[in-house]
């Protein structure tokens, strides 16, 4: 009796090669919207923001104190008459020789003044009531003064005509503040990607309130919550199609519905080579599908392709929606999303920075068993500035992703000894 021929599995792709293929295929959506700056958190700029003014617009004080002419304070103990009181927003008169102006943080420096003395180095004398009642008296300067001290110069932050934020920037809270500081009430941003999310598998159930006992063989659908949260964190409009019945016709119908409204369809589970599942044949019937084996751990299986649209009226595009299928194990799905789906979503929005910034930190653990795949280990920064390893690195232990604040990017075949320097990817980088 002859033996059956061995099944030829596809060669594994490196993470870099897989990412290159994805980003070569997926292009930015190209559609933009004009929205209020206050509503733009997490959105990607589609056009540069240039400043129409200097910031700050005038020289101003960075301290509460007194604006003076440095030539009047050649040594400590100089006595100056206080002739003005200038809160922020009040324009002062020319400061005459031998006088001082009471100023408060952010106040414009009056013409003639070239230094500010902090109030802790000043002594009010003769009529120096606070708040003033018409006569501001005099102030004794108890320190030497250097021209320019405690003055924020006009345009030292932003100069008129300069580009303060470039197209492709993902807007965080600081960027919104910077845009507002140059008077940008509205910004031009990329359209939010529309991502359809659904699950298949009759074993999946949703949490209920009050909780109900799980039936034998059932599991809670945690990936649906994790992936939805990841998508929302990247500024996507999520189309949640829920749990699809574990039948080929139902899966094909869900794909057709998703393609009509979404730029990207995302599923988890059922993408391993040789696995019995309806997602693979359904995508192949409704479009095109490639099954990749990625040389990463956790992870490895990834499905990538597209699903045809019946019409192009409901969603913009070239007549199809992209499809990505992730592994089903919770941590594998989580890590694969961060490494491969996140860059695709940022690419759809035209973001200029797709790769996370890594740090070189000290490993405070041993990892003696090298793997032929590139490993992503869940770790946490300890109080000594090193990295602690979560004790269970299984792809099904989702608590490791909650405990960790980053991943060690460990090259293939590499062991780690305590004290080694390793590449650390903060989750703060990967989740934004």
Tell me which range, 108-117, 282-291, 302-311, is most confidently predicted by mean pLDDT.
108-117
Contact criterion met (CB below 8 Å) for 326 and 292: no
pLDDT band at 214 (very low <50, low <70, confident <90, very high): confident
Domains, the chain, with CATH or none = 15-30+192-348 (3.40.980.10), 32-53+163-190 (3.90.105.10), 60-152 (2.170.190.11), 359-430 (2.40.340.10)
pLDDT band at 9 (very low <50, low <70, confident <90, very high): low
Round the average pLDDT of the chain to a whole number and report it: 90
pLDDT for the residue 10: 62
- pLDDT tens for 363-404 read 999 999 999 999 999 999 999 999 999 999 999 999 999 999
pLDDT for the residue 310: 84
Residue 234: burial class (beta carbons within 10 Å; 0-12, 13-18, 19+): buried
- pLDDT tens for 237-260 read 999 998 888 888 989 999 999 999
pTM: 0.85
User: For residue 383, what are the contacts with CB-CB under 8 A and spacing of at least 6?
Assistant: none
- The average pLDDT across 67-88 equals 95
pLDDT for the residue 318: 63
From CA 256, how far away is CA 229, in angstroms rounded? Answer: 24
Q: Which of 409, 296, 321, 267 is nearest to 19 (CA)?
A: 296
pLDDT for the residue 275: 52
Relative to beta strand 138-141, strand 186-190 is unpaired
pLDDT band at 203 (very low <50, low <70, confident <90, very high): confident
- The average pLDDT across 353-364 equals 95
From CA 220, how far away is CA 206, in angstroms rounded? Answer: 6
From CA 16, how far away is CA 20, in angstroms rounded? Answer: 6
pLDDT band at 127 (very low <50, low <70, confident <90, very high): low
- Residue 224 CA from chain centroid, whole number: 21
- Tokens 């993902």 correspond to 170
pLDDT at 4 over 50: no
Residue 79: burial class (beta carbons within 10 Å; 0-12, 13-18, 19+): middle
Which segment of 119-133, 292-306, 356-370, 396-410 scores lowest on mean pLDDT? 119-133
- The average pLDDT across 71-76 equals 94
pLDDT for the residue 1: 39
User: For residue 98, what are the contacts with CB-CB under 8 A and spacing of at least 6?
Assistant: 72, 80, 81
Show the CA angle centred on residue 243, arms to residues 239 and 244, nearest 5°.
Answer: 100
Q: Which residue has the higher pLDDT, 206 or 179?
A: 179
pLDDT band at 2 (very low <50, low <70, confident <90, very high): very low
């Amino acid at each position: 009796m002859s033996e059956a021929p061995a099944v030829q599995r596809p060669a594994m792709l490196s993470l870099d090669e897989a990412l290159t293929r994805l980003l070569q295929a997926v292009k930015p959506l190209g559609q933009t919207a004009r929205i209020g700056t206050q509503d733009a958190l997490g959105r990607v700029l589609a056009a540069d923001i240039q400043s129409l003014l200097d910031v700050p617009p005038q020289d101003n004080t960075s301290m509460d104190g007194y604006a003076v002419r440095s030539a009047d304070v050649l040594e400590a103990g100089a006595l100056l008459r206080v002739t003005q009181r200038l809160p922020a927003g009040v324009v002062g008169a020319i400061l005459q020789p031998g006088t001082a102006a009471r100023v408060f943080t952010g106040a414009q420096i009056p013409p003639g003044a070239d230094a500010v003395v902090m109030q802790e180095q000043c002594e009010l004398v003769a009529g120096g009531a606070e708040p003033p009642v018409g006569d501001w008296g005099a102030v004794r300067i108890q320190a030497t003064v250097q021209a320019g001290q405690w003055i924020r110069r006009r345009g030292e932050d932003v100069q008129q005509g300069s580009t303060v934020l470039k197209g492709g920037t993902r807007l965080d809270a600081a960027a919104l503040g910077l845009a507002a500081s140059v008077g940008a009430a509205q910004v031009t941003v990329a359209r939010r990607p529309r991502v359809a999310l659904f699950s298949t598998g009759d074993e999946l159930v949703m949490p209920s309130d009050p909780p109900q006992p799980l039936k034998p063989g059932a599991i809670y659908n945690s990936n649906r919550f994790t992936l939805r949260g990841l998508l929302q964190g990247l500024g996507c409009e999520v189309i949640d199609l829920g749990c699809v019945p574990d039948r080929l016709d139902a899966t094909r119908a869900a794909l057709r519905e998703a393609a009509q409204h979404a730029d990207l369809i995302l599923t988890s589970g059922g993408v391993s080579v040789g696995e019995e599942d309806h997602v693979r044949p359904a995508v192949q019937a409704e479009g095109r599908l490639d099954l990749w084996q990625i040389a990463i751990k956790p992870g490895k299986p990834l499905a990538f392709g597209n699903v045809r649209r019946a019409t192009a009226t409901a969603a913009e595009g070239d007549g199809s929606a992209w499809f990505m299928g992730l592994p089903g194990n919770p941590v594998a799905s989580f890590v694969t999303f961060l490494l491969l789906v996140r860059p695709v979503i940022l690419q759809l929005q035209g973001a200029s920075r797709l790769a996370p910034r890594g740090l070189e930190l000290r490993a405070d653990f041993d990892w003696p068993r090298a793997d032929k795949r590139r490993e992503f280990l869940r770790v946490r920064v300890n109080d000594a500035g090193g990295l602690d390893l979560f004790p269970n690195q299984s792809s099904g232990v989702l608590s490791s992703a909650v405990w960790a604040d980053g991943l060690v990017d460990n090259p293939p075949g590499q062991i780690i000894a305590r004290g080694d320097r390793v590449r650390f990817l903060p989750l703060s980088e990967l989740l934004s």
